[in-house]
C-alpha cells in the first residue's frame, strides 16, 4: 500500500495501480505518484518517501519541527 499526503489530502493506493515495485528508488516512486496525481514531479521534490517495515510506503511532505 502507498499512502500519499498531498496538499491536505490523504490517499491510499495499491503499488501495482501506481506501477511501483520494491526495487524503485525514491525519485522513481515520486515520479509514479506525480503521474497518478496528474501533477509535475517537481512538486514532490521536497517530499519524503518513508519505507515502513511492513513494506508499505508513505509519500509525505518533510516534517519541520521547532
- Per-residue pLDDT tens for 14-30? 999 999 998 999 999 99
Give dist(CA 38, CA 60) in Å, integer: 16
Query: Is 23 a member of any domain?
Result: yes
Beta carbons of 56 and 41 less than 8 angstroms apart: no
Query: Is 29 a member of any domain?
Result: yes
Q: Say what the pTM is.
A: 0.90
CA-closest candidate to residue 30, choices 58, 63, 64, 1: 58
Number of domains composing the chain: 1
Query: Is 50 a member of any domain?
Result: yes
User: Residues near 28 by Cβ (< 8 Å), separated by ≥ 6?
Assistant: 20
Range of the domain at 22: 15-54
- Per-residue pLDDT tens for 4-62? 999 999 999 999 999 999 899 999 999 999 999 999 999 999 999 999 999 999 999 99
Amino acid at each position: 500500500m502507498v499512502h500519499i499526503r498531498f496538499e491536505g489530502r490523504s490517499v491510499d493506493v495499491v503499488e501495482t495501480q501506481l506501477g511501483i515495485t520494491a526495487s524503485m528508488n525514491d525519485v522513481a516512486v515520486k515520479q509514479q505518484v506525480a503521474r497518478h496525481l496528474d501533477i509535475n514531479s517537481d512538486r514532490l521534490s521536497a517530499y519524503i518517501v518513508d519505507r515502513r517495515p511492513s513494506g508499505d510506503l508513505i509519500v509525505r511532505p518533510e516534517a519541520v519541527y521547532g
